[in-house]
A and B are shown apart, each in its own frame.
Chain A
Amino acid sequence: MIKKYFWIFLTLILILAATLRIVNLDKNPPHLGNDEISIAFDSYSIRTTGKDEYGVWLPLSFISHRDYKAPLYAYLNIPFNFVFGNNEYGIRMLSVVSSLVAILIIALLARFLGGEKLALLAALLLTINPKNIFVSRMSYESNLASTLVLLGVYFIFLFREKQKQFYLLISGLFLGFSIWAYHTQKGLVPLLLVVLPWLCRKEIKLRKWWVLWITTLLIIIPIGFDFFNVQIKDPYNRASSQIWYKSVYIENYLKNTNDFLPKRILTVVVDPVYKYFDHFSFDILFTRGMEMFPKNEPLNFGWFLIFSLPVLIIGLFNLNKIFGKYASWVVCWCLLCPIVPSLTVGEVASVRNLAFVIPTILIMAGGFLILIKKSKILSIGLTILILINFFLFGIAYYVHFPKISGDNFQYGYKQAWTYIKPIVKDYEKIIIEPRFGINGQFVGLPRLYLGYFGAFNAKTMQQRDNKLSKIGKYWIKNIDWNEEIIEKKSLYIVSVSNPKAGNGFGTLELLTVIRNTNNEVQFLIYKTLEN
């Protein structure tokens, strides 16, 4: 029956996946985040002027916050921006679509590896995967990149079976463009290109893979040149400062240590090894890796549902049974993914290791299939537990997460703009503070929110006065009320940490307050008195 109605079942799963990913997309996450707004504005800017925020014509990397973002997401998003306009859908829908494509392709790959049942299980497990839901509702470049890697790897699998060079050509295209989509893939893709052919060198001679290598190489040449160009032009860019040996911990260690040289070298080298193991921490994978809530809170969830752990274990013990000659490929795919993220600074960043989710889900689906074959009762019991687990995740993510996460997404800038939009024409100067948070401890990007949501167009942004932080009549600066010269017809949007002091608010009148998602005041909006 499953074979006969495979496509109907898969369509139903895709409808469920789309529902889980699209519902309330503009409200959860509650606001466009730091990276999202940057990509969103650049995409809009490219669509309308052909240049990015800084006026660079069709860039191969977007300067953004000096992290020189990979360009593919912003370019592929142009049609979505055109159709949906400058709002949350206009930037997040591409991520939703790439997630749906990933679900479709994992189903096709699993069907190729183990038949229709495995395919539907894999698709369903990815559909309800907390990490995939989370990232597909935000404009993460890594989500797009991991889908492209999946597509590339899928065609490599097909090549091994059918040995047609055409598959390698397609695979090379996808893998090459995945490097255009996210930085992590710059390391992961070469690793896959070397390790996968090497693992089956007895079956397929290494020289037969040339189409794959050449295609990928040709695709990445422009981005490679741009990468080196950036390193020369801006050697202290944020992207290159993310390498592990530039971390504060390593720098302090090297500065203060008296250890002998071999130990010093080893300490530096071993740091990413610890981090690599960190990616396999059960608490990160199953109970708290999503970091939706503060540590130790009960509704924290991991990258995978905790009740999928048993099927992962069963899958790991039955790899050969499930995947046959492809077992080593699936395992290597899984093991290679955390290597590049381990070479970066900071805690385990799940976004950098997103590609890891796909092969793990394949193993879980295989484990589930084995369990179904061995014990119907146990598999039904586990299915119920997984569904309860998913329901709890749904409550945590769709109900509670938006209420607590305002600060993480710079909540308030869009709302402040929405409030002043009808009256903005009556004012000659609008001053907005980049700092926000209850103590003004965070720094936001109000210029991008204002630009994206319609305060000024992309051209005005490109012509802005960086020294004065002035864009048209909008001034972005932190305000010291003792030194501020308050001019007539001015509006002030200031952090709650910086209220206007003085008798009767001086010459300013409080118009309104903008509240955070947790109902605490985030911004204060003042206007100058009429006279």
Chain B
Amino acid sequence: MINKFDTIKVLIVLLISPFLVKIFSMPLGIALITLVLWFLIVKFKNKIAWLVFLILILVNLYINRLLYFDINSWKVSFDLEQSFFKYPGIGEAIIRYRQEGLWIPYLLRNIFYSSYLILFSWISLIMKLLSPIFWVKMIGFSGFSLMVAGIIHFFKTKNKNYFMVWWFLLILITSSLRVLGDSFVAIYLTLPVIIYWLYLGFKSKLFENYHMYWYILFLIDLLLR
């Protein structure tokens, strides 16, 4: 059962979060596609999850300005230079390591100092997007605490919809491909999952026990806006 009062509270939390501005600045088409994808995965779950996730990844790459579609000429292009795959700074660093790495023979050096090192820079950005401070800055102290309570509640419930975790992680992983991306755009498509976890947060035991403190956090967020 959807609790109307909790739904309103979730909306208020989002309304006072810095995330709000971005929600309204996104093209309507993207919001519609997200809604359709969300509906499909909620309705059919694992049956068509692979297709939903594939489209989700493409849409996310598109809004992160990594993937370009030209419908007229049916051309698709990927901005390698803005991604970790071909970002100039990283490539130059790997070449520099190769020149400095005289501790191994030349042939092995070319293998040891090669493109796989890009992975570390990529992981670093994923880690940033997973960090508490990132989410505090996105959805405020009240939103973050509620989301954490929601996630704990989510993992404690028996029938977990794991597709939500996958949805969330896939967005963060693909958004992290862009080296100098916009933080808000990077997590825009996670919005349905965030809303769900915020909603769960209100139903959690943690919120029940510490709701007075949460209202203080909410007040702080409100004052900071």
Same assembly: yes
Other than the known A286-B127, A298-B93, A299-B93, what 19 A-B pairs have Cβ atoms closer than 8 Å?
Answer: A263-B224, A273-B141, A274-B137, A280-B131, A280-B132, A281-B131, A281-B132, A282-B128, A283-B124, A283-B131, A287-B124, A297-B89, A297-B93, A298-B118, A299-B117, A300-B120, A300-B124, A302-B127, A399-B101
Instruction: Please tell me if B50 contacts chain A, counting CB pairs below 8 Å.
Output: no
Interface residues of A in 270-314 (CB under 8 A from B): 270, 273-274, 277-278, 280-284, 286-288, 293-294, 296-300, 302, 306
- How many A-B pairs with Cβ below 8 Å? 83
B179 touching A296, Cβ below 8 Å: yes
A296 to B118 CA separation, bound complex (whole angstroms): 9
- Kindly state whether residue B125 has any CB partner on chain A within 8 Å: yes
| Given A281-B128, A395-B101, residue A299 in contact with residue B134 (CB < 8 A) | no
Q: Within 8 Å CB of B118, what residues of A?
A: 298
B residues within 8 A CB of A11? Answer: none
**Whole-angstrom CA separation of A302 from B137 in the bound complex:** 22
Shortest distance from the beta carbon of A139 to any chain B beta carbon, whole Å: 26
- A245-286 contacts to B (CB < 8 Å): 262-263, 266-267, 270, 273-274, 277-278, 280-284, 286
State A306–B125 Cα separation when bound (angstroms).
Answer: 13
Q: Enumerate chain B residues within 8 angstroms of A266, measured Cβ to Cβ.
A: 220, 223-224
A287-B124, A299-B120 known; A400+B101 contact, CB < 8 A: yes
Which residues of B96-127 are within 8 A (CB) of A?
97, 100-101, 103, 117-121, 123-125, 127
Contact pick for A267, options B127, B130, B224, CB 8 Å: B224
User: Would you give the shortest CB distance from B216 to chain A, in whole angstroms?
Assistant: 12
14 interchain pairs, CB-CB under 8 A: A278-B133, A280-B132, A283-B127, A286-B127, A287-B120, A296-B87, A296-B90, A297-B121, A298-B118, A298-B119, A299-B117, A302-B127, A399-B103, A400-B101
- Asked if B57 is at the interface (CB within 8 A of a chain A CB), the reply is no
What's the nearest-Cβ distance from chain A to residue B222, in Å? 10
What is the bound-complex CA distance between A263 and B219, given in angstroms?
Answer: 11
- Chain A to chain B: the 8 pairs with minimum beta-carbon distance, closest first: A287-B124, A298-B117, A282-B127, A277-B133, A281-B131, A283-B127, A283-B128, A298-B120
User: Closest CB of chain B to A399's CB: distance in Å?
Assistant: 6
Indicate if A403 sits at the interface (CB-CB under 8 A): yes
Q: In whole Å, how far is A285's beta carbon from the nearest beta carbon of chain B?
A: 8
B125 nearest CB neighbor, chain A only: A283
Interface presence of B185 (CB below 8 A): no
B136 touches A (CB below 8 Å): yes
Complex interface residues of chain B between 31 and 67 (CB less than 8 A to chain A): none
Question: Of B127, B133, B134, B223, which is within 8 A of A287 by CB?
Answer: B127
B83 to chain A, nearest CB (A): 12
Q: How many whole Å from B145's CB to the nearest CB in chain A?
A: 11
Q: Which residues of B contact A278 (CB under 8 A)?
A: 133
Contacts of A286 in B (CB 8 A): 127
Q: Mostly helix, strand, loop or mixed at chain A's interface?
A: helix
What residues of chain A have their CB less than 8 Å away from a CB belonging to chain B? 262-263, 266-267, 270, 273-274, 277-278, 280-284, 286-288, 293-294, 296-300, 302, 306, 395, 399-400, 403
Contact call A282/B121, Cβ cutoff below 8 A: no
Residue from A270, A297, A300 with most neighbouring chain B CB atoms (10 Å): A297
CB of A295, distance to nearest CB on chain B (Å): 9
Residues facing A in B140-185 (CB within 8 A) are: 141, 179
Candidate in A281, A293, A300 with the most chain B CB atoms within 10 angstroms: A281
Query: Is B94 among interface residues, defined by CB-CB distance under 8 A?
Result: yes
Chain B neighbourhood of A293, CB < 8 A: 93
Contacts of B103 in A (CB 8 A): 395, 399
CA distance A302 to B100 in the complex (A): 22
* Residue from A273, A280, A296 in contact with B121 in the complex, judged by beta carbons closer than 8 Å: A296
* A37 CA / B217 CA spacing, docked (Å): 46
A residues less than 8 Å from B89 (CB atoms): 294, 296-297
Chain B neighbourhood of A299, CB < 8 A: 93, 97, 117, 120
Q: Chain B residue with minimal CB distance to A301? A: B120
Indicate if the CB atoms of B133 and A274 lie closer than 8 Å.
yes
Q: Chain B contacts of A300 at CB under 8 A?
A: 120-121, 124
Contact status B100-A306, CB under 8 Å: no
Complex contact A298–B90 (CB within 8 A): yes
Give the complex CA separation of A284 and B97 in angstroms.
22
- The residue of chain B having its C-beta at the shortest distance from the C-beta of A284 within the complex is B131
Query: Could you say which residues of chain A place their CB within 8 Å of the CB of B125?
Result: 283
CB-CB nearest in chain B for A286: B127
Are the C-beta atoms of B133 and A280 separated by less than 8 Å? Answer: yes
